[in-house]
Amino acid sequence: MTPFGIKVRALRDQRGISLKKMAEDLAISSAYLSALEHGKRGLPSWSLVEQICSYFNIIWDEAEELHRLAAISHPKVTVDTSGLSPTATEYANILSREIRTLPEARLQEMLAYLKQSTPKRPG
């Protein structure tokens, strides 16, 4: 599952809404909604995320968080290291090759490090 998929599923579960019912209400296929939740489809469109926010009646910070989660949930990532150091290119290539074998604890450790060392962007 993706971060976006986990959140959407949690919202559905909290409100007792089935995937089929939500998909029907949003006029999308349940297969597509399931694929979004499980990371088998690309990013949802901005308008679909807005529809989901409206569907669950979420606004402000929670809606912003759902958009943020959608933006970081693309299951097929491309990393462009052109113009970066050879170390950055090596790191990206090794990560691409080995990510499936890394234990969850290590992934969480690496993610925490990246989040800690990444400057906050305004907006």
Distances (CA, A) of 15 to 22, 72, 92, 112, 122: 11, 24, 40, 31, 33
Domains of the chain, residue spans = 3-71, 78-123
What confidence score (pLDDT) does residue 121 get? 57
Residues of the chain with pLDDT under 70: 120-123
What confidence score (pLDDT) does residue 120 get? 65
Q: How many CB atoms lie within 10 A of CB 54?
A: 12
Do 44 and 4 form a contact (C-beta atoms < 8 A)? yes
What confidence score (pLDDT) does residue 39 get? 87
What confidence score (pLDDT) does residue 118 get? 72
What confidence score (pLDDT) does residue 123 get? 43
Which tens digits make up the pLDDT trace of 21-30?
Answer: 999 999 999 9
* Averaged pLDDT score across all residues of the chain: 92
CATH of domain 3-71: 1.10.260.40
